[in-house]
Amino acid sequence: MNSKSKQDQVISNDSISLNSYEEMAEYYFKYVDTKPFNAYYERPATISLLPQVKGKKILDAGCAAGWYTKWLLDKGASVIALDFSPNMIEMTKKRVGNSAKVIKADLNEPLDFIEDESVDIVLSSLTLHYIKNWNLVMSEFNRILNSDGELIISIHHPFMDFRVFNRENYFLTELLDDEWNTNNAKVKVRFYRRPLSEIINPIIDAGFIIERLLEPMPIEEFKIAHPNTFDRLTKNPQFLFIRAKKC
Protein backbone atom coordinates (compact mmCIF):
# COMPACT_ATOMS: atom_id res chain seq x y z
CA MET A 1 0.00 0.00 0.00
CA ASN A 2 1.49 3.42 -0.90
CA SER A 3 1.43 6.59 1.18
CA LYS A 4 -2.13 7.62 0.22
CA SER A 5 -4.42 7.14 3.22
CA LYS A 6 -7.78 5.44 2.80
CA GLN A 7 -9.53 8.82 3.04
CA ASP A 8 -7.27 10.27 0.32
CA GLN A 9 -8.54 8.01 -2.44
CA VAL A 10 -9.77 10.29 -5.21
CA ILE A 11 -13.32 10.33 -6.52
CA SER A 12 -13.24 10.81 -10.31
CA ASN A 13 -15.24 13.35 -12.31
CA ASP A 14 -16.46 10.33 -14.27
CA SER A 15 -18.22 8.91 -11.22
CA ILE A 16 -21.96 8.44 -11.51
CA SER A 17 -24.65 7.39 -9.02
CA LEU A 18 -22.49 8.14 -5.98
CA ASN A 19 -25.28 10.08 -4.26
CA SER A 20 -27.75 7.31 -5.07
CA TYR A 21 -25.58 4.73 -3.33
CA GLU A 22 -24.92 7.05 -0.43
CA GLU A 23 -28.68 7.28 0.00
CA MET A 24 -29.21 3.51 -0.35
CA ALA A 25 -26.49 2.29 2.04
CA GLU A 26 -28.81 1.52 4.98
CA TYR A 27 -31.30 -0.07 2.61
CA TYR A 28 -28.56 -2.31 1.22
CA PHE A 29 -27.45 -3.31 4.69
CA LYS A 30 -30.96 -4.12 5.92
CA TYR A 31 -32.83 -5.43 2.89
CA VAL A 32 -30.68 -6.45 -0.08
CA ASP A 33 -29.22 -9.63 1.47
CA THR A 34 -32.54 -11.37 0.97
CA LYS A 35 -33.76 -9.73 -2.25
CA PRO A 36 -34.68 -12.50 -4.73
CA PHE A 37 -32.67 -10.88 -7.56
CA ASN A 38 -29.58 -11.10 -5.38
CA ALA A 39 -30.19 -14.20 -3.28
CA TYR A 40 -31.84 -16.41 -5.92
CA TYR A 41 -30.30 -15.16 -9.17
CA GLU A 42 -27.14 -13.02 -9.00
CA ARG A 43 -25.30 -14.68 -6.10
CA PRO A 44 -25.80 -18.35 -7.04
CA ALA A 45 -24.44 -17.56 -10.52
CA THR A 46 -21.45 -15.55 -9.29
CA ILE A 47 -20.61 -18.16 -6.66
CA SER A 48 -20.78 -20.91 -9.29
CA LEU A 49 -18.01 -19.10 -11.20
CA LEU A 50 -15.69 -18.66 -8.21
CA PRO A 51 -12.81 -21.08 -7.78
CA GLN A 52 -11.92 -22.37 -4.31
CA VAL A 53 -11.54 -19.21 -2.19
CA LYS A 54 -10.07 -20.61 1.04
CA GLY A 55 -6.65 -19.06 1.68
CA LYS A 56 -6.97 -16.75 -1.34
CA LYS A 57 -6.59 -12.97 -1.34
CA ILE A 58 -9.63 -11.44 -2.99
CA LEU A 59 -10.59 -7.93 -4.07
CA ASP A 60 -14.34 -7.26 -3.68
CA ALA A 61 -14.63 -4.32 -6.10
CA GLY A 62 -17.88 -2.47 -5.43
CA CYS A 63 -18.56 -4.14 -2.09
CA ALA A 64 -21.69 -2.09 -1.17
CA ALA A 65 -22.85 -3.25 2.29
CA GLY A 66 -20.41 -6.16 2.30
CA TRP A 67 -22.44 -9.30 1.60
CA TYR A 68 -19.70 -10.85 -0.57
CA THR A 69 -16.97 -9.58 1.72
CA LYS A 70 -18.50 -11.45 4.66
CA TRP A 71 -19.24 -14.57 2.60
CA LEU A 72 -15.63 -14.70 1.37
CA LEU A 73 -14.23 -14.17 4.88
CA ASP A 74 -16.49 -16.93 6.20
CA LYS A 75 -15.09 -19.24 3.51
CA GLY A 76 -11.52 -18.56 4.68
CA ALA A 77 -10.39 -15.89 2.17
CA SER A 78 -8.65 -12.64 3.05
CA VAL A 79 -10.46 -9.69 1.51
CA ILE A 80 -9.83 -6.15 0.34
CA ALA A 81 -13.25 -4.55 -0.05
CA LEU A 82 -13.59 -1.28 -1.92
CA ASP A 83 -16.41 1.05 -2.78
CA PHE A 84 -16.60 4.75 -3.68
CA SER A 85 -19.51 5.38 -1.30
CA PRO A 86 -18.44 6.33 2.24
CA ASN A 87 -21.80 5.18 3.61
CA MET A 88 -21.39 1.78 1.94
CA ILE A 89 -17.89 1.55 3.39
CA GLU A 90 -19.40 2.15 6.84
CA MET A 91 -21.98 -0.60 6.26
CA THR A 92 -19.29 -3.09 5.21
CA LYS A 93 -17.23 -2.19 8.28
CA LYS A 94 -20.35 -2.64 10.43
CA ARG A 95 -20.77 -6.11 8.93
CA VAL A 96 -17.18 -7.37 9.07
CA GLY A 97 -15.37 -5.13 11.55
CA ASN A 98 -11.60 -5.27 11.10
CA SER A 99 -11.50 -8.67 9.50
CA ALA A 100 -11.17 -7.18 5.98
CA LYS A 101 -9.36 -4.14 4.59
CA VAL A 102 -12.28 -1.88 3.69
CA ILE A 103 -11.24 1.04 1.49
CA LYS A 104 -13.05 3.99 -0.07
CA ALA A 105 -11.84 4.11 -3.67
CA ASP A 106 -13.17 4.87 -7.13
CA LEU A 107 -12.82 2.27 -9.89
CA ASN A 108 -12.42 5.13 -12.38
CA GLU A 109 -9.03 5.80 -10.79
CA PRO A 110 -5.82 3.74 -10.53
CA LEU A 111 -5.87 1.24 -7.65
CA ASP A 112 -2.35 2.24 -6.65
CA PHE A 113 -2.94 1.27 -3.03
CA ILE A 114 -2.84 -2.39 -4.19
CA GLU A 115 0.53 -3.82 -5.21
CA ASP A 116 1.23 -5.56 -8.52
CA GLU A 117 0.43 -9.29 -8.60
CA SER A 118 -0.73 -9.32 -4.98
CA VAL A 119 -4.31 -10.59 -5.41
CA ASP A 120 -5.60 -14.06 -6.40
CA ILE A 121 -9.18 -13.20 -7.39
CA VAL A 122 -10.99 -9.99 -8.35
CA LEU A 123 -14.73 -10.21 -7.81
CA SER A 124 -16.86 -7.32 -9.05
CA SER A 125 -20.57 -7.92 -8.89
CA LEU A 126 -23.12 -5.55 -10.43
CA THR A 127 -20.70 -2.63 -10.35
CA LEU A 128 -18.93 -2.23 -13.69
CA HIS A 129 -21.97 -0.80 -15.48
CA TYR A 130 -21.28 2.38 -13.48
CA ILE A 131 -17.88 2.71 -15.19
CA LYS A 132 -17.83 4.35 -18.62
CA ASN A 133 -14.32 3.51 -19.71
CA TRP A 134 -13.31 -0.06 -18.88
CA ASN A 135 -9.72 0.19 -20.18
CA LEU A 136 -8.25 1.57 -16.96
CA VAL A 137 -10.23 -0.61 -14.56
CA MET A 138 -9.49 -3.80 -16.52
CA SER A 139 -5.78 -3.02 -16.79
CA GLU A 140 -5.72 -2.30 -13.04
CA PHE A 141 -7.48 -5.60 -12.30
CA ASN A 142 -4.93 -7.33 -14.51
CA ARG A 143 -1.99 -5.56 -12.85
CA ILE A 144 -2.97 -6.46 -9.28
CA LEU A 145 -3.77 -10.11 -10.08
CA ASN A 146 -1.00 -12.65 -9.76
CA SER A 147 -0.23 -14.98 -12.66
CA ASP A 148 -3.21 -17.31 -13.14
CA GLY A 149 -5.37 -14.84 -11.17
CA GLU A 150 -9.10 -14.92 -11.88
CA LEU A 151 -11.56 -12.13 -12.62
CA ILE A 152 -15.26 -12.78 -11.96
CA ILE A 153 -17.78 -10.11 -12.87
CA SER A 154 -21.53 -9.68 -13.14
CA ILE A 155 -23.20 -6.77 -14.92
CA HIS A 156 -26.53 -5.82 -16.46
CA HIS A 157 -27.14 -7.95 -19.53
CA PRO A 158 -26.70 -5.72 -22.62
CA PHE A 159 -29.72 -7.29 -24.34
CA MET A 160 -31.92 -6.50 -21.32
CA ASP A 161 -30.86 -2.85 -21.12
CA PHE A 162 -31.25 -2.37 -24.87
CA ARG A 163 -34.77 -3.80 -24.83
CA VAL A 164 -36.16 -2.61 -21.49
CA PHE A 165 -34.90 0.95 -22.00
CA ASN A 166 -36.16 0.90 -25.56
CA ARG A 167 -32.93 2.17 -27.11
CA GLU A 168 -32.49 2.96 -30.80
CA ASN A 169 -28.81 2.33 -31.41
CA TYR A 170 -27.42 -0.90 -29.95
CA PHE A 171 -23.83 0.06 -30.82
CA LEU A 172 -23.65 3.12 -28.56
CA THR A 173 -22.26 3.19 -25.06
CA GLU A 174 -24.75 5.45 -23.35
CA LEU A 175 -25.72 6.74 -19.94
CA LEU A 176 -29.23 5.67 -18.91
CA ASP A 177 -31.48 6.84 -16.08
CA ASP A 178 -33.36 4.39 -13.94
CA GLU A 179 -35.44 4.67 -10.77
CA TRP A 180 -35.39 2.04 -8.03
CA ASN A 181 -37.94 1.38 -5.32
CA THR A 182 -36.38 1.03 -1.89
CA ASN A 183 -38.04 0.41 1.46
CA ASN A 184 -38.99 4.07 1.88
CA ALA A 185 -38.28 6.07 -1.29
CA LYS A 186 -37.63 5.98 -5.01
CA VAL A 187 -33.97 6.55 -5.85
CA LYS A 188 -32.65 7.68 -9.23
CA VAL A 189 -29.76 5.57 -10.48
CA ARG A 190 -27.68 6.20 -13.62
CA PHE A 191 -25.63 3.53 -15.36
CA TYR A 192 -23.95 2.77 -18.70
CA ARG A 193 -25.35 0.44 -21.32
CA ARG A 194 -22.88 -0.83 -23.90
CA PRO A 195 -22.83 -3.40 -26.71
CA LEU A 196 -21.48 -6.88 -25.99
CA SER A 197 -18.22 -6.16 -27.87
CA GLU A 198 -17.53 -3.25 -25.49
CA ILE A 199 -17.84 -5.68 -22.60
CA ILE A 200 -15.75 -8.52 -24.01
CA ASN A 201 -12.97 -6.63 -25.81
CA PRO A 202 -11.71 -4.43 -22.93
CA ILE A 203 -11.35 -7.62 -20.85
CA ILE A 204 -9.34 -9.36 -23.60
CA ASP A 205 -7.34 -6.20 -24.41
CA ALA A 206 -6.28 -5.90 -20.76
CA GLY A 207 -4.67 -9.35 -20.90
CA PHE A 208 -7.37 -11.81 -19.88
CA ILE A 209 -8.65 -15.01 -21.48
CA ILE A 210 -12.40 -15.40 -21.12
CA GLU A 211 -13.09 -18.84 -19.65
CA ARG A 212 -16.82 -18.78 -19.11
CA LEU A 213 -19.81 -16.63 -19.97
CA LEU A 214 -23.00 -17.30 -18.02
CA GLU A 215 -26.62 -16.37 -18.73
CA PRO A 216 -28.09 -18.26 -15.80
CA MET A 217 -31.55 -19.33 -14.77
CA PRO A 218 -32.91 -18.16 -11.40
CA ILE A 219 -32.93 -20.88 -8.74
CA GLU A 220 -36.17 -22.56 -7.63
CA GLU A 221 -36.55 -20.38 -4.50
CA PHE A 222 -37.18 -17.43 -6.84
CA LYS A 223 -40.24 -19.21 -8.22
CA ILE A 224 -41.73 -19.54 -4.72
CA ALA A 225 -41.00 -15.88 -3.88
CA HIS A 226 -42.06 -14.31 -7.23
CA PRO A 227 -43.45 -16.76 -9.80
CA ASN A 228 -44.06 -14.12 -12.50
CA THR A 229 -40.58 -12.63 -12.31
CA PHE A 230 -39.13 -16.17 -12.20
CA ASP A 231 -41.00 -16.95 -15.40
CA ARG A 232 -39.70 -13.77 -17.06
CA LEU A 233 -36.11 -14.54 -16.04
CA THR A 234 -36.33 -18.03 -17.55
CA LYS A 235 -37.00 -16.35 -20.91
CA ASN A 236 -35.14 -13.01 -20.66
CA PRO A 237 -31.63 -12.52 -19.32
CA GLN A 238 -31.19 -9.81 -16.68
CA PHE A 239 -27.50 -10.07 -15.79
CA LEU A 240 -24.40 -11.33 -17.63
CA PHE A 241 -21.60 -13.18 -15.79
CA ILE A 242 -18.00 -13.61 -16.95
CA ARG A 243 -15.03 -15.52 -15.59
CA ALA A 244 -11.67 -14.57 -17.09
CA LYS A 245 -8.11 -15.67 -16.33
CA LYS A 246 -5.01 -13.51 -16.42
CA CYS A 247 -2.78 -14.63 -19.29
Q: Which residues bind ligand SAM (CB under 6 A)?
A: 15, 17, 21, 38, 62-64, 67-68, 83-85, 88, 106-108, 125-127, 130-131
Cα 35 to Cα 189: distance, rounded to the nearest angstrom:
18
* CB 76, min distance to ligand SAM, A: 20
* CB 10, min distance to ligand SAM, A: 11
User: Which CB sits closer to ligand SAM, 125 or 238?
Assistant: 125
CB atoms within 10 A of CB 108: 19
* Residue 134: closest CA among 86, 142, 80: 142
Name the H helices within 108-239: 134-144, 158-164, 197-205, 220-225, 227-233
* CB 110, min distance to ligand SAM, A: 12
User: Which CB sits closer to ligand SAM, 14 or 170?
Assistant: 14
User: Which CB sits closer to ligand SAM, 15 or 142?
Assistant: 15
* CB 84, min distance to ligand SAM, A: 4
* Residue 123: closest CA among 108, 144, 104: 144
